[in-house]
Amino acid sequence: MIKFQNVTKTYKGTTVALRDFSIEIEKGEFAFLVGPSGSGKTTFIRLLLREETPDRGRIWEAGKDIGHLAKWRIPYLRRNIGCVFQDYRLLPNKTVFENVAFALEVIGRPKHVIAAQVPQILSEVGLTKKANNLPHELSGGEQQRVAVARAFVNRPLILLADEPTGNLDPETSLGIMRLMEEINKRGTTVVIATHDAGMVDAMRRRVIELDKGVLIRDQAHGVYGIDSATAAAGAGSPTGLALDVDRRPPSGPMEPLT
């Protein structure tokens, strides 16, 4: 579903955001992207959204080599990707319903489709009662649920999240994570960039760790950092210290996934 092959991205020629970075994330996977600020997590997401292009290397997404995507096709690529941010990015003058409906309107979905899909997704994220509220009338967690609903209403193949719980307390964060898990269960590939250690430790999913743009760890059922991994192992975690760092060279172009 997502494949980076020897991708290097620098800003203004000096700041290295990603260095010779290769990774493969299969369809239906749930992965955390961890690392300190400036480690390249956000660049990873921006590359997938085609807001940036790599200096070197190739990126496949949903079966397409997005490095060679014509400009006019970018919007159609983005329709396959849902994206959630730390700051929710809701439109303050639109209600919850309108915010979610907007995502469908601007890609030209007919009215009857909007009328059917928006209430459905709102009930899935548990916001049916708040449909006519404005964003500022909601709590942070509720606002992020609206953002998730907006990202997922079009049933994208991939859901990306950049620090989705950065502004939320641990309990609310867990709710958002459970929601992401639900979405993942429906077959959508989920990638979450975060430095929320507690969340990563609690979820025990694949962890991809970056430091200064370099892949330093790729672990199947990982925890946030080596220290917490050791701590978890000491506490008798079932996964233990299974560090299976994956630095295999990519095995050719990815199969097209539809």
Q: Which residues bind other proteins (CB under 8 A)?
A: 49, 71-72, 74-79, 81, 83, 89, 91-92, 102-103, 106-108, 150, 154
The least CB distance from residue 107 to other proteins, in Å, is 5
- Give 168's DSSP letter: S
Closer to other proteins at the Cβ: 81 or 177?
A: 81
Torsion of CA 87, 67, 33, 217, to 10 degrees: -160
The least CB distance from residue 216 to other proteins, in Å, is 30
The least CB distance from residue 133 to other proteins, in Å, is 18
Closer to other proteins at the Cβ: 94 or 221?
A: 94
Length, in residues, of the chain: 258
Closer to other proteins at the Cβ: 74 or 202?
A: 74
Closer to other proteins at the Cβ: 67 or 198?
A: 67
Residues 6+ apart with CB under 8 A from 146: 88, 90, 96, 99, 100, 125, 127, 135, 138
Q: φ, ψ for residue 205 (rounded to 5)? A: -115, -175
| H or E stretch at 85 | strand 81-85
Alpha-helical runs (H) found in the chain? 41-48, 74-78, 96-105, 111-124, 140-152, 170-185, 197-203, 226-234
The least CB distance from residue 202 to other proteins, in Å, is 28
The least CB distance from residue 224 to other proteins, in Å, is 28
Closer to other proteins at the Cβ: 162 or 209?
A: 162
